Amino acid sequence: MDIGLYPYLPKTDLHLHLDGAARPDTIREFALAQGITPENIEPHLRVGTPGTLAEYLAHFRFVLPLMQTREALSRIAYEIVEDAQLHSAAYIEIRFCPLLVLEGGLSGEEAVNAVIEGIAAAQEDLGGILGRVVLCALQGQGREEAERVVDLALNFQISGVVGVDVAGDESGRWNLEPFVAPFRRAKDGGLRITCHAGENGPPEHIIEAIELLGAQRIGHGTSVLGSQRAIELARERNVGFECCPTSNVQTGAVTSYAEHPLRRMLAAGLACTINTDNPLFSETDIENEWNLAIDEIGLTAEECAIVLANGFSQMFLEDAPAPVRNVR
């Protein structure tokens, strides 16, 4: 197959944040309605030059206050599905922390239901794309908050929540202990586990995510090659890696596209996928991420085929196909 066709084949986007994937025009509309002037909107809508993860995450502080109503959450979810399908996605998993969108008076149940309703409406209107939800707990939260997130995930499992995640900045406050028991309960209840690890932290964080949380996928994981133990553990347990090229460069997780470890991770037998992370801030889409992986990172046609298959094998669905290994 012509390597240039891969960005346009049906694909997955498994690492996609609700609050980082709203349309720019939708955020502008919401901000203007709250009396925010245009000059105080635009700097928050794009990352631009590479920086640190902390600088990248600061953009969420502008968007989140604009997402505190049922209507806003449902509309954003609908538009994310619509945009993903426009760029050839067949399956997406939208993740968010429901505890961060309750300042307008919503309950956690109302917030999760609003997102699920937006996804369901888009699926019904569009056809040809399937969307599911992953609920996030955050680094720095305690056991109580983690239990609440897991409660919501289990309660909405039948409606489209398929997993739970630990997100946030790894530097300075990395501590998985509050999440261990809640996530064990989530896994026992049939939910899948992912965890942001090895993005701006060492490969030991990846090992802890797998061993302590039972993570079946790792968000980013760009530092994994620094530990043979992390590589072997991930291979042994068929753990997937949610690579996000643009945001990995913008957060400083990697120094450039040319230095991105995606190809070396594949060569090490790791099940890597390509994802968008935050299309709003990174000004990207899933087709663009694939084009970058081919043109800048240098994926071959064989590697593209493996990554494409990995996307579907790593879906948090019961009937996902078996993983594909890059055996050399």
- Is residue 199 annotated as a catalytic residue, yes or no? yes
pLDDT tier, 326 (very low <50, low <70, confident <90, very high otherwise):
low
- Is 325 inside a domain boundary? no
Mean pLDDT of the chain: 94
Which CATH number fits the domain that encloses residue 206?
3.20.20.140
In angstroms, what CA-CA distances link 328 with 92, 227, 266, 280?
30, 20, 10, 37
171 part of a folded domain: yes
* Residue 323: pLDDT over 80: no
Domain assignment present for residue 139? The answer is yes
pLDDT band at 319 (very low <50, low <70, confident <90, very high): low
Number of domains in the chain: 1
Predicted pLDDT of residue 328: 40
For the stretch 23-54, pLDDT in tens is 999 999 999 999 999 999 998 888 876 678 77
What pLDDT is attached to residue 57? Answer: 78
Catalytic residue among 170, 199, 208, 287: 199
pLDDT of 325 higher than 80: no
Q: Give the pLDDT band of residue 168 (cuts 50, 70, 90).
A: very high
Domain with 25 in it: 3-313
Is 228 a domain residue? yes
126, two tokens: 């569009």
Q: What is the pLDDT of residues 47-106, one digit of tens each?
A: 876 678 778 878 889 999 999 999 999 999 999 999 999 999 999 999 999 999 999 999
Please check whether residue 319 lies inside any domain of the structure: no
Token pair 């955050």 is found at 138
Question: 208-261: per-residue pLDDT in tens?
Answer: 999 999 999 999 999 999 999 999 999 999 999 999 999 999 999 999 999 999
Please compute the mean of the pLDDT values over residues 198-206 and round it to a whole number. Answer: 96
| Length of the chain counted residue by residue | 328
pLDDT number for residue 107: 98
* Cβ pair 212, 193 in contact under 8 A: no
User: Residue 93 domain-assigned?
Assistant: yes
Question: pTM to 2 decimals?
Answer: 0.95
CA distance 64 to 59: 9
Burial zone of 104 (CB within 10 Å; 0-12 exposed, 13-18 middle, 19+ buried): middle
Residue 112 is assigned to a structural domain of this protein: yes
Q: Within a domain: residue 152?
A: yes
